[in-house]
Amino acid sequence: MSRIVVIGGSGHIGTYLIPGLVERGHDVVNVSRGQARSYQHHAAWDRVEQVVIDRTAEEKAGAFGSRIAELRPDIVVDLISFDLASTQALVEAVRGKVEHFLHCGTIWVYGHNASVPADESDPLNPFGDYGVNKAAIETWLLHETRRTGFPATVFRPGHIVGPGWAPINPLGHLNTDVFSRMTRGEEITLPNFGLEMLHHVHAEDVAQIVLLAIANRAASIGETFNAVSAKALNLRGYAEAMFRWFGFEPKIRYLPFDEWKAGQAPDEGHLAWEHIVRSSCMSIEKVRSRLGYRPHYTSLAAIQEAVSALIVAGHVQPPKGWM
């Protein structure tokens, strides 16, 4: 088995990925700032080597890549690189020393899609710093694979969801009050006609793709893979399904976006715009056929699991009769 260094493994994806790696017999090192714990406890964490490194500080000192190389990884999974220079420095430090390098990208590299569901052969049209920077990273990594043989794989998660954090809601932002209003059967207002799309994915399914990519190295090196559920949800369908799950018929009205946004907190209105202007809907045919990916969760099931956890934690009002 391999020695695998996971950078940023204490978050959403790592909660499921690191136990999965340990259970498959790998020697696992989790590199983090030591300021967070996985969202769910698993006995496998007792067999993980924890290394505390402040990536930002070490990169400023020009030492982060060498710190990772000193851990002697066979495989590196980088879950928290958001800048091309950061990835380039790390790659140079481990070049010729690792057999596989997996980078966590994002579906936001697509930007606007001419047709949906978008697959990995479609052009990238990113906008905004996050999408543009992530597109630059994966474009460079894949070029390095073709040019020098550097063994890179990129996986592109959608809107990650799971127990322990709030999902992007049917309004396109993170305010959990919308779920409480639905548990009471109160009317909510959606932007436009509610037909823009969100493509959620359970963190466990993202971890599944990473595990499959590692197990199928030859089929994954030099490739990108969408990491989403089987189907996207539009805002209206999402809201209607949640109303009915809480035991109510949907009560929804619609407003043009600018009018709707005026009734939102500024940061929430902007976050909603960031999501719905992209209207994400991605294909998983490539990762299914090449790696054997079978998502365990639909978008809706992943969201409902997360909302159930929010109800238990007291962040969302329970519906009447909730057990």
Q: What is the pLDDT of residue 323?
A: 64
For 83-151, strand residue ranges (E) read: 100-104
> Is residue 322 domain-resident?
no
Residue 248 resides in a domain: yes
Using the structure block, give the residue that is written with the tokens 């365990």: 296
With respect to residue 292, please indicate whether it lies within any of the assigned structural domains: no
**In terms of domains, do 136 and 236 share one?**
no
Q: Which domain holds residue 189?
A: 162-198+231-280+298-312
- Classify residue 176: in a domain, yes or no: yes
| Residue 20 maps to a domain | yes
**Residue 246 is assigned to a structural domain of this protein:** yes
This prediction's pTM: 0.96
Residue 53: its pLDDT value, please?
Answer: 96
Q: How many domains does the chain have?
A: 2
pLDDT attached to residue 111: 96
Sequence-ordered list of residues with C-beta below 8 angstroms from that of 280, at least 6 positions apart, any chain: 107, 108, 110, 113, 118, 158, 159, 197, 198, 199, 232
β pairing state of 75-78 and 100-104 = parallel
Q: Which pair of structure tokens corresponds to residue 48?
A: 């993980």
- Do 183 and 208 lie in a common domain? no
pLDDT the model gives residue 45? 87
- Could you tell me which of 230, 228, 232 has the C-alpha nearest to residue 206? 228
Query: Both 184 and 221 in a single domain?
Result: no
Q: In this predicted structure, what is the pLDDT of residue 78? A: 98
**100 and 191 within one domain:** no
d(CA 196, CA 278) in angstroms, rounded, equals 8
| 71 lies in the same domain as 166 | no
pLDDT in tens, 224-253: 999 999 999 999 999 999 999 999 999 999
The residue ranges of the chain whose pLDDT is under 50 are none
Regarding whether 72 and 87 lie in a shared domain, the answer is yes
What's the confidence (pLDDT) of residue 309?
A: 96
Does residue 65 belong to any structural domain of this protein? yes
- Looking at the fold, whether 13 and 137 belong to one and the same domain comes out as yes
Do 211 and 114 reside in the same domain of the chain? yes
Q: What CATH number corresponds to the domain at position 181?
A: 3.90.25
Please check whether residues 33 and 82 belong to one and the same domain.
Answer: yes
> Considering the domain boundaries, does residue 319 fall inside one?
no
User: Which CATH number is 218's domain given?
Assistant: 3.40.50.720
pLDDT at 26: 97
